[in-house]
Chain A
Amino acid sequence: LAKTTQPISMDSYEGQEVNITCSHNNIATNDYITWYQQFPSQGPRFIIQGYKTKVTNEVASLFIPADRKSSTLSLPRVSLSDTAVYYCLVGDSIGNMLTFGGGTRLMVKP
């Protein structure tokens, strides 16, 4: 089981780019990397997923180096509404995503 390590919290200001890095040193060959966003009292919402290199969608970008032992979620030009907890998960199938971990609490300030 690949465990993940993220910073507990981060602060940013509106309009800035935010990069949240996740370490997953023992990631397996079949594992994908998935990021979720969670607002208080709501379920996590899928943001982005990748296997290697770079993935971009309308919400964020995900950078994965060649060794895949870490990944960086990049949020361009954050707004106050991006204040949330961001979780990094690594896994490939049922049961491999046993624990989300504490996530990273992002606070966006005006």
Chain B
Amino acid sequence: SQTIHQWPATLVQPVGSPLSLECTVEGTSNPNLYWYRQAAGRGLQLLFYSVGIGQISSEVPQNLSASRPQDRQFILSSKKLLLSDSGFYLCAWSVLGQPEETQYFGPGTRLLVL
């Protein structure tokens, strides 16, 4: 069965500090990978998606970046965090070849920037 892991679960960082959130998927090959952010009390916003190693598409301009160094690893980074980066970050995967593209989500990382 497929599983998706995210860490850390929670993170408190000062403004201006760097960020690295990691997501890994097990039990599937060549998944589509996604990073979402959810601000408090709001819906999910797609930040990045990837169809393969080294292939990253960004949906919104921001001070965040993403990388996919391995097939089942997706990393969200920032060089300098802003207060507005606080939120709940979710990684998700889906399987190529299925027209409906159901997405499966990880447990999330709660980030608080102070």
Contact = CB atoms under 8 A, between A and B. Distances in A.
Nearest to B33: A94
Given A43-B92, A43-B107, A45-B105, A100 B51 contact: no
Chain B contact residues, majority secondary structure:
strand
Interface stretch (A17-25, A60-68, A76-84, A85-93): A85-93
B49 A46 contact: no
Interface of B: 32, 36, 42-46, 49, 51, 57, 59, 88, 90, 92, 99-108, 110
Interface of A: 30, 32, 34, 41-46, 49, 51, 87, 91-95, 97-103
Given A87-B44, A101-B43, 15 more contacts: A32-B101, A41-B88, A41-B108, A43-B107, A43-B108, A44-B44, A45-B105, A94-B49, A94-B101, A95-B49, A97-B103, A98-B46, A100-B36, A100-B45, A102-B42
29 contacts: A32-B99, A32-B100, A32-B101, A34-B102, A34-B103, A41-B108, A42-B107, A43-B107, A44-B90, A45-B105, A49-B100, A51-B100, A87-B43, A92-B99, A93-B101, A94-B51, A95-B49, A95-B59, A97-B46, A97-B103, A98-B46, A98-B59, A99-B45, A99-B46, A100-B43, A100-B44, A101-B43, A102-B43, A103-B43
